């Protein structure tokens, strides 16, 4: 998990020559496009540093001539922005590929390190490529390693954290534990994984991978050493216990393996005397797990509970799965089908699109546990392992989407239980003017020729899709099956942004404002909104992204706000242009640096600290003396000139900000003197040399500072502040600096400690806008979302339709209608939106009915029976994009009461609690006789809706 960068001593003198920009591009381009191969090592690089490198060498496609930007020298590789703890160098949670970091292969990393070096004191972030999936192989870099807590049986409270790859084997864990606890190789041991405080499973197959063994983030693994008399400590402790124990082998259903339950004191059954289902222990399924284990539970079985009120343990970011499973578990026709063992006769092991029946077997086993009435909660470990084997995206322990899992699970169950053994080839037909009722019947019958399962019976409905060519008016009508409705939500038109305004008045603290800007607006809109609150003219503002005490980006007024992410530290500077012609002014970036003495004879290192400055100065006034006096005035609020002789602690009770994104100042950055960067100097600096010391005079300095030693010196640096282009020592003469220039003011440690008040430098005020209540969220009715879904739209230029009449692609109009609806209507509220720069969650409250949802008005089949639905379950998502927590509300079919399912916790709920902004996936059950009848295929269009199973096709 740790990741850091290593420094290079004396880079300027000893580093090998760096190739020119063209050579760097040519060497890295093929490497960055390399395919992932299992077992290879790849390295993480902070995307901000990598983007700076790409600009520097002209790597991006928009750099038509590939000339790059020489003034953007990136300096040493800097990964500090990826760390939650800069000392322990642990990665932040929820980092996103390409957005927060980039992955490069070993050879590319080595080249970049040779060319640029690394920040001193950090280690490279190296990760393995891991292969996922059983049939469809899928490789990905395992960015987050799995943390296991290791302990000895003799001292279970002493837990030692250790990190492993999911591709490591159980033997690797054993080796690490022997090393940690000094257990000789010749001593016989056993490994146990602990799932709850009193439930253990033996890890007996050493060549099984951690992934296949189903171990999850934070799981406890215990090592047991055999006694000298040949007994095992855990056996002797269990023998003294009067509570029930069991040994369960959860291996594949094959001639060589079986599923058995052996009970020490009394028989444990999964049945319920009040439950007519009569459940028995069954195995996970054919080919289920690739390893076997023994488990025991040294607690007494729980008293009888209401069947179905069974929580699901969180195995490590698996709340999304638990939420989806609780919704499906409380879907009566599907659960009855599995509890009554009807699935056994319909398992299709030969379907090439299925999972050999293993998903159906695993789901059935889990449902039987949840509805046995014997458990307050169960751990769905084996079900998750099975899902991960067939769907690699769900194999890890990162947060996923409950709707995406539902889609996979419904499709997987359908193919595992498909009654069609050999699917015929069918050619899609257009309506070509035929009546809708005929085309719809034909489409549904064709669908059932290839797809016939309990999932089709319960969940499938039929869309009507109408496309009209804008040129020839050709109308194309098709009917397509669906398993769930994905409904759009009205998009937000604006967004709040928290920004800091840095005033030109040096005595005013920065102030934090909350402004409301258009969602797709420009930086100029941000400035206009901020101007209304602050009174500062928008034309005097410069918007910046401050990162690690430096300017990561200075925005242009016409740039889109979509480039600004919610986590960015946005600082808006008031830049007062001099009264002279603004064309004669330059805007300079100024960084604070502290010089750190090095142990060797190499060049002293520096660290950036504090809040950078933006100064607008007339070109003809830029002398060192003038710069010094202007900067001294700008920092006078937190540089205490009266404290030169003695230092006094000043404690202020206020909030602080530094734009550092959690990165400490202690990360020393090696200064690389660019002896060969002549073009940089020529571009940003032209000076008239002065050999005489007589020209050193302090014309504009204050009289009391004329003979005082300067508090800091100047250097011309790259935009990252990590590479020195030139030292500014020429006194008296005008410096010819352009707006591309970045200056560093270098302080020695003693002067900074004595004079620089870090607390005051980081202090800021909060504007009233930060305390005003947020705009009340608009409530949207579910019918509004349905109407939006069925509204005619014009296809985009990148998504045209091929018109068979025109023989070319056209931007046709498209309209969806609902032709028939299923017994169980699953409604997915599309809360998450994505684009290149922006990922957002819409937290609009959708007002959906608990009962009496009348969908008849939205069904275009004129012969359809009424469609009245009642809510039976809701999957909730709390939190933002890529993070958060999933729960579920569900109605128990046996007592008709609502319950709240939060992982292993189950609690009663009222109908008033259900409609919230967290509602994500809704489950509705049709209110008619069909819901209580056995499914049978619909074969005739003349059948009434009461006679047709699953959906109307009239």
User: Which long-range contacts (C-beta less than 8 Å, at least 24 apart) are formed by 805-813?
Assistant: 805/469, 805/472, 805/474, 806/469, 806/471, 806/472, 806/474, 810/469, 810/470, 810/471, 811/470, 812/467, 812/468, 812/469, 812/470, 813/467, 813/468, 813/470
Rounded Cα distance between 581 and 620, Å, is 12
On whether the CB atoms of residues 882 and 399 are closer than 8 A, the answer is yes
On whether the CB atoms of residues 287 and 385 are closer than 8 A, the answer is no
Rounded Cα distance between 891 and 877, Å, is 18
Task: List phi, psi (to 5°) of 579.
Answer: -65, -20
On whether the CB atoms of residues 250 and 205 are closer than 8 A, the answer is no
Q: Is 256 helix (H, G, I), strand (E, B) or coil?
A: coil
| Catalytic position from the list 151, 319, 585, 785 | 319
The neighbour count for residue 706, using CB atoms within 10 Å, is 10
**CA atoms lying within 13 Å on the CB side of residue 338:** 25
Q: Is 436 helix (H, G, I), strand (E, B) or coil?
A: helix
Annotation marks residue 885 as catalytic: yes
The total number of residues written for the chain in this structure: 954
Q: What angle do CA 496, 531, 508 make, to 5 degrees?
A: 100
Burial 516-528 (b: 16+ CB within 10 A, else e): ebeeebbbbbbbe
- Please give the biggest Cα pair distance in the chain: 107
On whether the CB atoms of residues 847 and 911 are closer than 8 A, the answer is no
Beta carbons within 8 Å of 500's beta carbon, 6+ residues apart: 510, 511, 512, 513, 569, 570, 571, 572, 657, 659, 764
Rounded Cα distance between 910 and 889, Å, is 10
Beta carbons within 8 Å of 678's beta carbon, 6+ residues apart: none
| Catalytic position from the list 94, 673, 767, 885 | 885
Rounded Cα distance between 327 and 873, Å, is 5
Rounded Cα distance between 874 and 407, Å, is 15
The string of DSSP codes covering 758-810 is HHHHTB-EE-GGGTSPPPPPPEEEHHHHHHHHTS-EEPPTTS-EEETTTTEEE
Q: Answer left, alpha or beta for residue 662, where phi above 0 means left and psi between -120 and 50 means alpha.
A: left
The neighbour count for residue 907, using CB atoms within 10 Å, is 10
**Token pair of 901, please?**
């399912």
In terms of Cβ atoms closer than 10 Å to its own Cβ (0-12, 13-18, 19+), residue 672 is buried
Q: Answer left, alpha or beta for residue 624, where phi above 0 means left and psi between -120 and 50 means alpha.
A: alpha
Q: Helix and strand tally (H, E) in the chain? A: 19, 48
Strands 146-152 and 155-164: antiparallel
Q: What angle do CA 580, 583, 587 make, to 5 degrees?
A: 95
Q: Helix 332-339 vs helix 319-329: angle between axes, to the nearest 10 degrees?
A: 90
**Token pair of 751, please?**
């002067």
Annotation marks residue 319 as catalytic: yes
What amino acid positions are annotated as catalytic residues?
319, 885
């Amino acid at each position: 998990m740790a990741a850091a960068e290593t420094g290079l001593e004396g880079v300027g003198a000893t580093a090998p020559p760096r190739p020119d920009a063209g050579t760097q591009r040519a060497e890295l381009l093929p490497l960055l496009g390399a395919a992932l191969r299992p077992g290879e090592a790849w390295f993480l690089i902070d995307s901000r540093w990598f983007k700076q490198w790409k600009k520097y060498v002209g790597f991006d496609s928009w750099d038509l001539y590939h000339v790059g930007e020489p003034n953007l020298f990136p300096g040493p590789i800097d990964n500090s922005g990826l760390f939650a703890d800069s000392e322990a160098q642990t990665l932040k949670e929820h980092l996103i590929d390409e957005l927060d970091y980039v992955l490069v292969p070993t050879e590319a990393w080595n080249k970049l390190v040779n060319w640029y070096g690394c920040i001193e004191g950090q280690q490279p972030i190296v990760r393995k490529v891991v292969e996922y999936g059983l049939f469809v192989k899928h490789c990905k870099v395992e960015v987050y390693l799995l943390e296991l807590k290791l302990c000895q049986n003799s001292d279970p409270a002493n837990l030692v954290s250790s990190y492993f790859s999911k591709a490591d084997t159980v033997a690797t864990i054993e080796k690490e534990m022997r090393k940690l606890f000094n257990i000789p190789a010749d001593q016989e041991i056993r490994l146990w994984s602990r799932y709850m405080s009193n439930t253990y499973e033996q890890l007996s197959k050493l060549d099984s991978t951690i992934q296949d063994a189903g171990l999850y983030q934070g799981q406890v693994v215990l090592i047991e050493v055999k006694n000298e008399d040949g007994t095992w400590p855990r056996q002797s402790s269990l023998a003294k216990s009067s509570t029930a124990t069991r040994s369960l082998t959860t291996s594949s259903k094959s001639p060589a393996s079986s599923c058995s339950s052996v009970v020490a004191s009394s028989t444990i059954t999964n049945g319920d005397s009040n439950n007519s289902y009569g459940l028995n222990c069954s195995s996970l399924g054919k080919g289920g797990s690739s390893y076997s284990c023994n488990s025991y539970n040294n607690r007494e079985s729980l008293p009888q509970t209401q069947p179905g009120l069974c929580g699901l343990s969180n195995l490590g970011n698996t709340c999304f799965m638990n939420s989806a499973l609780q919704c499906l578990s409380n879907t009566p026709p599907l659960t009855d089908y599995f509890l009554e063992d009807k699935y056994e006769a319909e398992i299709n092991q030969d379907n090439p699109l299925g999972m050999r029946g293993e998903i159906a077997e695993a789901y059935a086993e889990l449902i039987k546990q949840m509805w046995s009435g014997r458990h307050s909660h169960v751990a769905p470990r084996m079900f998750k392992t099975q899902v991960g084997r067939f769907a690699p995206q769900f194999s890890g322990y990162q947060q996923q989407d409950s709707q995406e899992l539902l889609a996979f699970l419904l499709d997987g169950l359908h193919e595992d239980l498909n009654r069609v053994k050999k699917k015929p080839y069918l050619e899609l037909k257009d309506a070509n003017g035929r009546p809708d009722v005929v085309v719809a019947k034909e489409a549904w019958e064709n669908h059932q020729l290839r797809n016939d399962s309990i999932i089709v019976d319960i969940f499938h409905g039929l869309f009507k899709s109408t496309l009209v060519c804008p040129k020839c008016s050709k109308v194309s009508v098709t009917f397509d099956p669906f398993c769930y409705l994905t409904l759009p939500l009205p998009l937000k038109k604006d967004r709040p942004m928290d920004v800091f305004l840095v005033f030109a008045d040096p005595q005013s603290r920065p102030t934090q404002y909350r402004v409301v800007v258009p969602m797709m607006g420009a930086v100029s809109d941000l400035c206009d909104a901020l101007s209304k609150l602050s009174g500062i003219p928008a034309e005097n503002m410069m918007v910046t992204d401050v990162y690690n005490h430096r300017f990561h980006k200075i925005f242009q007024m016409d740039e889109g706000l979509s480039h600004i992410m919610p986590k960015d530290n946005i600082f808006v500077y008031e830049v007062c242009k001099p009264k002279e012609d603004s064309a004669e002014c330059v805007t300079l970036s100024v960084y604070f640096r502290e010089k750190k003495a090095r142990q060797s004879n190499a060049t002293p290192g520096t660290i950036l600290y504090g809040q950078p400055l933006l100064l607008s100065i007339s070109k003809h006034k830029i002398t060192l003396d003038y710069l010094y006096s202007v900067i001294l005035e700008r920092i006078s609020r937190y540089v205490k000139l009266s404290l030169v002789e003695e230092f006094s602690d000043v404690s202020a009770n206020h909030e602080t900000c530094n734009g550092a994104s959690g990165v400490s100042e202690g990360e020393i950055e090696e200064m690389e003197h660019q002896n060969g960067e002549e073009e940089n100097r020529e571009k940003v600096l032209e000076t008239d040399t002065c050999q005489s010391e007589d020209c050193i005079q302090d014309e504009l300095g204050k009289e009391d500072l004329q003979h005082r030693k300067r508090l800091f010196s100047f250097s011309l640096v790259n935009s990252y502040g990590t590479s020195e282009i030139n030292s500014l020592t020429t006194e008296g003469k005008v410096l010819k600096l352009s707006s591309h220039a970045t200056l560093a003011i270098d302080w020695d440690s003693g002067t900074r400690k004595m004079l620089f008040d870090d607390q005051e430098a980081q202090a800021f005020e909060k504007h009233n806008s930060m305390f005003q209540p947020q705009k009340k969220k608009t409530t949207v009715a579910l019918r509004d979302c349905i109407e939006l879904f069925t509204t005619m739209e014009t296809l985009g230029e990148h998504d045209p339709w091929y018109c068979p009449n025109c023989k070319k692609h056209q931007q046709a109009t498209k309209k969806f209608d609902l032709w028939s609806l299923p017994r169980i209507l699953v409604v997915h509220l599309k809360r998450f939106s994505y684009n290149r720069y922006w990922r957002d969650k819409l937290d609009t409250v959708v007002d959906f009915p608990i009962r009496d949802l009348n969908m008849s008005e939205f069904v275009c089949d004129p012969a359809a029976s009424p469609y009245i639905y009642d809510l039976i379950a809701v999957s909730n998502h709390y939190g933002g994009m890529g993070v958060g927590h999933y729960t579920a509300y569900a109605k128990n079919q046996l007592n008709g009461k609502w319950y709240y399912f939060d992982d292993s916790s189950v609690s009663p709920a009222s109908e008033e609690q259900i409609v919230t902004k967290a509602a994500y996936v809704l489950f509705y059950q049709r209110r008619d006789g069909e819901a209580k009848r056995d499914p049978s295929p619909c074969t005739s269009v003349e059948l009434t809706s009461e006679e047709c199973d699953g959906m109307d096709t009239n």
